Chains A and B, each alone.
Chain A
């Protein structure tokens, strides 16, 4: 049997993923409009001088790379946790309506021209949108609402946010602001600074912290809600942790990066392929995998194109959907 070798491989995989995150992060620091050698990047990172390389690496590339890693980890982690909670491999952080609400906030900020007055208006309003949606979900989840109620509420919130976003875009004051809105919604990590990290970072970390201890509960849920309860799982608490953790971390990620789809859906699937279906065992790998996936996608957006910048959400969807289809076809036997 191959059982032993699989086990050994599985133990090594988180280490490999961790190493992958570091390698991708460094590679990502190398890619940009100015060519820097690996030595120059390292020098720029760690040398004490204030030369041009240091400014490029520390002020321009580092925040972008860090934000990509954090946002990717938020999306991957949330996707895995949400799929575990809903016991549905098709769940995605998008279904609870938080991403769309963040998008609505951003579009509002652009509509009223707040972004030209105050630089952080877009992420701040996006965050407000995400938090408003989170609050609705929180009220529902703490009232002991069923999973189905939460999902339907999420679909409702999502639909409303998308409708309002369309409305705002419909009455966009100028073609330029409409373009701004569309571009924001397509997602990007370009020109992000440590201010964005300071704004969204604490929320992402708060979200991760909320979801940190949910592994066992999610594994127990494999046997259904009643059996999980008889194994000592506090269902209401578990729901609150996952829904709030997802809403807060994904809301914060979307607020500074724009809408980025498919990572929360696809990454847990890829991880299941390597780590098995136990929900607990794919949480950390999905977070690391999400960080790698988003960073790779971000590197692709930095390929210079004549038509302008390739947007991040476009790349993740382009890479994510074929991967998703491939996985669905390969695993349809196992899921039956």
Chain B
């Protein structure tokens, strides 16, 4: 912990990000950082700007002000492929336009590492295998992606992002519309990635999962950071009442705190 300042230098940092889309201010002076090995949860109500923040970090939306830096180097000046090797993205509900096999789809994650005429090398295939193994989707490799169930598909899409083998992974609601088994599986995978040094930013709606699996939470509302810090400091009753307008039930299971959103607050 003594070299916290040095770690921050190596981190993914957004400073004073302001994004306007169609004349509406979506992000308003947002500053935010992740260090290697940290799993950071982005939480907030619908329309708060979580996905936009993720897309701004990736350079997918034009920023009106502020900038994103990686290890002190600005992302705007980076070549697309160099940036692609550093930041992996698992989008929410991404389309799959052709009926590809799972194997081919996950192999696309290796694209940032090879030239336009190059074929995948042994190293690339090893990464693909590792990504399939990490998401427990190896047995699906010959299946056609469009024929998979929601849970299987989520695993495969995550495998594709993991195959990039980038030091940073940004996942937009990876557990949306998954059953509890697959939700917990995805969160465990993300935490495992964190343990191996990957910096993970994950957009979440499930507060119970956010509390259990994230090292740090960033609560966003109306395009601004409302709170940032350890889960128990962010998911306070007052924050939840003000931002989410719900009342929660808090509990304790074998020493781990949990919470369940219980009822809307009447205003």
Contacts and interface: CB of A to CB of B under 8 A. Distances in A.
A215 B116 contact: yes
A234 interface: yes
A222 B104 CA distance: 11
B58 to A, nearest CB: 5
Given A219-B108, A220-B108, A230 B94 contact: no
B19 to A, nearest CB: 15
A227 B94 contact: yes
A232 B81 contact: yes
B97 A234 contact: no
A325 interface: no
Contacts of B58: 229-230
Interface stretch (A97-105, A271-279, A308-316): A271-279
Contacts of A224: 91, 94-95, 97
Contacts of A1: 142
Interface residues of A, number: 27
A105 B81 CA distance: 42
A276 B98 CA distance: 9
Contacts of B1: none
Interface size grouping (class) on chain B: 35 or more
Q: Which of the listed residues B80, B82, B97, B100 has the most CB atoms from chain A within 10 Å of its own CB?
A: B97
B122 interface: no
Contacts of A219: 108, 111
A335 interface: yes
Interface in A213-235: 213, 215-216, 219-224, 226-227, 229-234
A32 to B, nearest CB: 40
A277 B60 contact: no
Contact of A213 (B91, B108, B116): B116
A232 B108 contact: no
A1 B94 CA distance: 30
B142 A3 contact: yes
A223 B94 contact: yes
Contacts of B82: 232
B80 A234 contact: yes
B83 interface: yes
Contacts of A231: 84, 108-109, 111-112, 164
B78 to A, nearest CB: 10
Given A222-B98, A230-B58, 20 more contacts: A3-B142, A87-B97, A213-B116, A216-B111, A220-B111, A222-B96, A223-B160, A230-B60, A230-B87, A230-B88, A231-B109, A231-B111, A232-B80, A232-B85, A233-B80, A276-B100, A277-B100, A278-B98, A279-B98, A336-B146
20 contacts: A3-B142, A87-B97, A213-B117, A216-B114, A220-B108, A222-B100, A222-B105, A223-B108, A224-B97, A226-B55, A226-B91, A227-B91, A231-B109, A231-B112, A231-B164, A232-B83, A232-B111, A276-B104, A278-B98, A334-B146
